[in-house]
Amino acid sequence: KAGVTQTPRYLIKTRGQQVTLSCSPISGHRSVSWYQQTPGQGLQFLFEYFSETQRNKGNFPGRFSGRQFSNSRSEMNVSTLELGDSALYLCASSLAIGLAAGGEQFFGPGTRLTVL
Amino acid sequence: ILNVEQSPQSLHVQEGDSTNFTCSFPSSNFYALHWYRWETAKSPEALFVMTLNGDEKKKGRISATLNTKEGYSYLYIKGSQPEDSATYLCACSGGGADGLTFGKGTHLIIQP
């Protein structure tokens, strides 16, 4: 069974640009969550999608948005990039209806975004 | 938003020794606790998900306990091996719309 895949793996952008990251969950998983990993803040929850609906949202500005498609693939968009958005962005998929249901998550390899 | 604390921040353990570390969370707003192992250059790997007070889970040499009344979880590693070297993360959900809140992790180094 294929694992969670994320594309691209590495990305370099400049301030003010926007970026879209993609995540394909494990086949059959309908929940996709996104996380930001930075050295200073650790791993922080961005949002969770289930059946094309955002179910949970972390404490991030509106420049961070996402969506989920009918095949459960998810995209995350960051507009008006800032230097502080440089981070590793991880997505994870789960069979569970929601993170609150305590479902096991399977993480992808991440997208390393560098903002210059 | 929950406040999840992990201690110690880093730990050096001799190969063959057993070790444990702690995850603390607010007991008043708890639904589930997750433990992950994150090795360098790899993706985080789920170890355990626990929801009930008194839960104990085991996977090989690694086990975890949960005390929701006092707000802590312990992760134990028995007979540490070099491949146990990793960052161990815990994360909690309060059952609301905030998703998972992660601790900063315990960085474990096993010395041969």
Give tens-digit pLDDT for B39-52: 988 999 999 999 88
C-beta atoms surrounding B30 within 10 Å: 19
* Euclidean distance between CA atoms A31 and A12, whole angstroms: 28
Size of interface A-B (CB pairs under 8 A): 67
Strand-pairing partners, residue A92, are: A33, A107
Identify the residue whose tokens are 């992760």.
B75
Helix count and strand count (H, E) for chain B:
0, 11
Spell out the per-residue pLDDT of chain A, length 116, in tens: 679 999 999 999 999 999 999 999 999 999 999 999 998 888 999 999 998 999 888 889 999 999 999 999 999 999 999 999 999 999 999 886 666 566 788 999 999 999 99
- Residues of chain A neighbouring B51 (CB-CB closer than 8 A): 102
Return the C-alpha torsion angle A102, B78, B53, A97, nearest 10. 0
For B37, which residue in chain A has the nearest alpha carbon? A107
User: Six-digit token pair at A65?
Assistant: 């948005």
- For B76, residues 6+ apart whose C-beta sits below 8 A from its C-beta are B18, B19, B20, B62, B63, B64, B65
How much is the pLDDT for B95?
Answer: 67
How much is the pLDDT for B97?
Answer: 65
Whether B43 sits inside 8 A of A58 (CB atoms) is no
How much is the pLDDT for A7?
Answer: 97
Q: Residue B98 is nearest to which of A35, A58, A106, comparing CB atoms?
A: A58
Whether A90 sits inside 8 A of B43 (CB atoms) is yes
Helix count and strand count (H, E) for chain A:
0, 11
Identify the residue whose tokens are 């969506």.
A67
C-beta atoms surrounding B41 within 10 Å: 6
How much is the pLDDT for B29?
Answer: 76
Whether A56 sits inside 8 A of B104 (CB atoms) is no
* Euclidean distance between CA atoms A112 and A6, whole angstroms: 10
Return the C-alpha torsion angle B36, B37, B38, B39, nearest 10. -170
Is the predicted pLDDT of residue B53 greater than 70, yes or no?
yes
Is the predicted pLDDT of residue B1 greater than 60, yes or no?
no
Whether A102 sits inside 8 A of B32 (CB atoms) is yes
* Euclidean distance between CA atoms A102 and A111, whole angstroms: 25
Q: Residue A108 is nearest to which of B43, B93, B104, comparing CB atoms?
A: B43
One DSSP character per residue, chain A reads ----EEE-SEEEE-TT--EEEEEEPPTT--EEEEEEEETTTEEEEEEEEETTEEEEE-S--TTEEEEE-TTS-EEEEE-S--GGG-EEEEEEEESSS-GGGT---EE---EEEEE-
CA angle A30, B50, B87 (to 5 degrees): 85
How much is the pLDDT for A97?
Answer: 64
B45 CA to centre of own chain: 12
* Euclidean distance between CA atoms B57 and B73, whole angstroms: 11
Average pLDDT over residues B18-44: 91
B83-102 tens-digit pLDDT: 999 999 999 887 666 678 89
How much is the pLDDT for A24?
Answer: 97
How much is the pLDDT for A98?
Answer: 61
Average pLDDT over residues B55-59: 94
